[in-house]
Amino acid sequence: MTPRRPRDGDPLDREVDEALALANESPPQGPQPPGTESEEDWADAALSLANGRPAQPTRERSPDDTDGVREPDDADDADDADDADGIGGIGGMGNTGDIAGIADTGDPTRTDWVETALDLAREAAEEPAAVLDGQDHVRRRPEVYSRSRSSGSPTSEGTGTNGTRSRAPAHQTPAPHPKRTPGAPTPNPHPSMNAAHRSPTSWPDARAIAARAAVKEAAHAAPVLRPLSEVLGQVLAAPLAALTDLPPFDTSAMDGWALSGPGPWRLPAGTEDQGHQGILAGHGETAPLPDGHAVRIATGARVPPGATAVLRSEYGTDAGDGWLHASPAHPVVLGQDIRTRGQECRSGDQLLPAGTLVTPAVLGLAAAAGYDELPTVRRPRVEVLVLGDELLTEGLPHDGRIRDALGPMVGPWLRALGAEVLGTRRLADEADAVYAAVAESSADVVVTTGGTAAGPVDHVHPTLRRLGAELLVDGVAVRPGHPMLLARLARANRANHASHTNRENPGNPGNPGSAETPGNAETPERPSRPARHLVGLPGNPLAAVSGLLTLAEPLLRTLTGRPAPDPGPAPLAEAVQGHPRDTRLVPVTFRQDAAVPLRFNGPAMLRGIAVADGLAVIPPGGAKRGTEVDVLDLPWSASATEQPSHADQARQRTDRATDGEGISPQEGPA
């Protein structure tokens, strides 16, 4: 749907993109160009490469490699397979040991920029540079460029060998592009729809903007009181305070006898029969137990007044003579196996903070603590609009058409993030259809898929212009997913929007109607009531996942009242190549606490994310093996359902332990 053409953007981006597009299409030929002198020349280096002249230094060629073109069976191909676009970009960054046959050039800065240009080239390629054969073995398709590598790439953590650059830690704004003026302002986080060009927002900034975008709307949303059976997966709108002591009365922790004082103990007359049930759970208060007496009791039964301990049935002997004896191996300790009233909480104690995700365990605790209903944050209502004429909803791909992978995925993903999904609609690639669907949606958040780029049938931007939307994020410096966007829209108002219909000029993106410049289009509605938001996810499926985690997750987190997750750093099991300027999100799985990057991580692929535990945040420039990187949880991964953050939980666990809570020492191990 989106033709490859230079995007509107800063001239450097265009230059590089053009070079990279060429690099993927032109086999290298001819002599090598002279080495470039500085990082400033990196785009030129990319262009040189694109024009078929491998930049200095070159890969050391094996004796049988005479053509300079990498063939599938070139000596280093096997080791390099993971680096192929879409199949990894993993396992080589700054680690010459991973790459056989690469010369050490002694000019790391120079080589780095060549390297990064080549990485960009691979990333820009529509097809992965490796393919699967029928046996699921990765084979390399012939490369169209030669590459070089040096030891100590300066894109790696630290300063490399020349001390000129250091890797930005995760969650920090990436280092400015070398061609940007040092000290120049960072990209406007609220770029105008009319801006001459759109600078991508840094990935951490994009997440922060998305988290702040709906603060007002979240504050306006009144909590909803709902029965326990309906609130699983929602978020507590108020702290959960105990409505009762827990346990509400002194309770026997074991089946056995309630005792009073030291033994032996006299049993009630007529209880020699072992079938006698004694005090059962669920019974009201019983008569006081006199000193020196015992009575049979069941687990969970109310301990009679005067009882000083419970003796487990296996630790006592009823000889049938009316006396109970404790086994000498198990002397009775005062209070043993009695759960005292209020051991877990006193009425009024705060059990859980507002913002807690309602899990099955929370439902259980709430019920135990006396709740029939819970106050929860109103779930934001979300509508998913899937754009793309090429999409099929069933059967096998045919005639250039493919299955819609996002329709079945995005709604459930948003639901897992706490949204109420009103529905998923598939729309034709028609400007008016997209406009009408967005304009008339009653959802708090409209999530579109596809159509975010600048192709002839990419209708998201034109629709936002027609609606006078405010673009909060318009492109993010993240791979995949960089065309993602976040906009603020006025509330749907059918009468108002009807008057807008047919007034746009979708073919003229330079003539938009915008909140900032009314005049070319309708005067935008300025929201006097809570706004709604639109998240535009790119059409490439993994790029859409990137948009879900970058923009939808923080936006919905605010709207659902959840605390920010703790991404939890993990060491990388393998080096991961980075993008020179953008953050990369790479599916990973955990093995022995290390994040193992998964292959099949290309923008159009879901095979990696389908088996992933999370997405590793690879800072611009890449990350070496062993580097601690943040890993974003997927909404269904175990830690994502823990609320609040891991760190807070650990702190709370410590607090509880030091409060002496947990299993009472008297109760002993079960």
Ligand X SMILES: Nc1nc2c(c(=O)[nH]1)N[C@H]1C(S)=C(S)[C@@H](COP(=O)(O)OP(=O)(O)OC[C@H]3O[C@@H](n4cnc5c(N)ncnc54)[C@H](O)[C@@H]3O)O[C@H]1N2
User: Which residues here bind ligand MOO, judged by CB under 6 A?
Assistant: 479-483, 538, 540, 543, 603
Smallest gap, in angstroms, from Cβ of residue 540 to ligand X?
4
> Using CA atoms, how far apart are residues 457 and 460, in angstroms rounded to an integer?
9
Q: Which does 405 bind (CB under 5 to 8 A by kind): ligand MOO, ligand X, none?
A: ligand X
Cβ neighbours of residue 602 closer than 8 Å, sequence gap 6 or more: 85, 86, 87, 128, 480, 542
Nearest CA to 191 out of 433, 488, 429 is that of: 488
Query: Which residue in the set 202, 271, 356, 449 belongs to the binding site for ligand X (CB under 6 A)?
Result: 449
Query: Which residue in the set 7, 330, 341, 425 belongs to the binding site for ligand X (CB under 6 A)?
Result: 7
**CB closer to ligand MOO out of 326 and 617:** 617
Residue 245 near residue 276 (C-beta atoms within 8 A): no
With tokens 């990973």, the residue in question is 588
Query: Which residue in the set 191, 388, 561, 567 belongs to the binding site for ligand X (CB under 6 A)?
Result: 388
> Using CA atoms, how far apart are residues 138 and 232, in angstroms rounded to an integer?
43
In the chain, what's the furthest Cα-to-Cα distance? 108
Instruction: Rule CB under 6 A: say whether 405 interacts with ligand X.
Output: yes
- Number of residues located near ligand X, criterion CB under 6 A: 30
Q: Which does 452 bind (CB under 5 to 8 A by kind): ligand MOO, ligand X, none?
A: ligand X
**Phi and psi (nearest 5°) for 437?**
-65, -40
Beta-strand ranges (E) seen in 148-214 are: 201-202
Q: Is the dihedral of CA 323, 324, 329, 330 positive or negative?
A: negative
Q: Which does 41 bind (CB under 5 to 8 A by kind): ligand X, ligand MOO, none?
A: none
**CB closer to ligand X out of 101 and 455:** 455
Q: Which residue is nearest to ligand MOO (CB)?
A: 603
Instruction: Rule CB under 6 A: say whether 603 interacts with ligand X.
Output: yes
563-580 burial: b if 16+ Cβ within 10 Å, else e: bebbbbbbebbbbbbbbb
Q: Quick one: how far is CA 365 from the chain centroid?
A: 27
**CB closer to ligand X out of 482 and 625:** 482
Smallest gap, in angstroms, from Cβ of residue 544 to ligand MOO?
8
Q: Within 532-561, which residues bind ligand X (CB under 6 A)? A: 538-541, 543
**CB closer to ligand X out of 126 and 655:** 126
Smallest gap, in angstroms, from Cβ of residue 354 to ligand MOO?
36
Q: Which does 13 bind (CB under 5 to 8 A by kind): ligand X, ligand MOO, none?
A: none
> Using CA atoms, how far apart are residues 488 and 494, in angstroms rounded to an integer?
17
CB under 6 A: which stretch of 162-170, 400-408, 520-528, 582-590 binds ligand X? 400-408
**CB closer to ligand MOO out of 99 and 551:** 551
Residue 123 CA: distances (Å) to CA of 231, 503, 584: 43, 38, 11
> Using CA atoms, how far apart are residues 629 and 597, in angstroms rounded to an integer?
11
Query: Which residue in the set 324, 326, 391, 631 belongs to the binding site for ligand X (CB under 6 A)?
Result: 391
Query: Which residue in the set 268, 306, 353, 455 belongs to the binding site for ligand X (CB under 6 A)?
Result: 455
Smallest gap, in angstroms, from Cβ of residue 468 to ligand MOO?
26
What DSSP designation does 422 have?
E
Instruction: Rule CB under 6 A: say whether 4 interacts with ligand X.
Output: yes
Smallest gap, in angstroms, from Cβ of residue 481 to ligand MOO?
4
Smallest gap, in angstroms, from Cβ of residue 479 to ligand X?
8
Structure tokens of 252?
């026997």
> Using CA atoms, how far apart are residues 155 and 620, in angstroms rounded to an integer?
8
What DSSP designation does 229 have?
G
At 568, the amino acid letter reads G
Smallest gap, in angstroms, from Cβ of residue 480 to ligand MOO?
3
Structure tokens of 192?
């105008």
Give me the residues that bind ligand X (CB under 6 A), please.
1-2, 4-5, 7, 386, 388, 390-391, 402, 404-407, 449-453, 455, 458, 480, 482-483, 538-541, 543, 603
